[in-house]
Amino acid sequence: MTKPTQFTQTLRAWMDVFMHRSMRGWGHFAKSTGLSMPQMSILMQLHHKGTCGISDISERFDISAAAASQLVDKLVQADYLARAEDPNDRRAKILTLNIKGQELIKRGAEERHRWMDELATKITAEERSKVTEALEILNRAVLQLEEKK
């Protein structure tokens, strides 16, 4: 690990700002849609994973299965996601975002992408390609990290 301090410091600084903005952004967006933050988080989780069961949500957010079931039920009733029976295990449910849910997440993401587009205008084309390359490196590293688990 050569020069870990500068790397870490820079990454930290970036993280601080970036996370601050993201969380505030999602919070406001959730409020504007009438959904609570936990509900929105479930939709995001589902967007990320594609599909999951009640117990997955329970684990991810560290809440009881009962709480997960109740939250999901509201989202199902509001038509944001579908809850189907798992053919392989008839006790389990398979949750998937339906169109309304997908569009909601897309809209939320777009709002925050706007900030990134603004960011893009503040840097030159040359810098932009450097940043792109760097982020690709990071994305690849993340994949490696996730695979190992």
Positions touching DNA (CB under 7 A) are 36, 38-39, 53-56, 58, 61-74, 83, 86, 88-93
Q: By CB under 8 A, tell whether 55 contacts its own copies.
A: no
Please name every residue paired with 96 in a beta bridge, in sequence order, or none if there are none.
Answer: 82
96 binds, among DNA, its own copies, none (CB under 5 to 8 A by kind): none
Helices (H) and strands (E) counted in the chain, each on its own, are 6, 2
> Amino acid letter at 26?
W
CB-based contacts of 25, cutoff 8 Å, min separation 6: 111, 112, 115
| Cα 36 to Cα 15: distance, rounded to the nearest angstrom | 24
Minimum distance of its own copies from residue 44's CB (angstroms): 7
Q: By CB under 8 A, tell whether 111 contacts its own copies.
A: no
Q: By CB under 8 A, tell whether 135 contacts its own copies.
A: yes
**Is 98 in contact with 80 (CB distance < 8 Å)?**
yes
Give me the residues that bind its own copies (CB under 8 A), please.
1-4, 6-8, 10-20, 22-24, 26-28, 31, 37, 41, 44-45, 48, 60-62, 109, 112-113, 116-123, 125, 127-142, 144-145
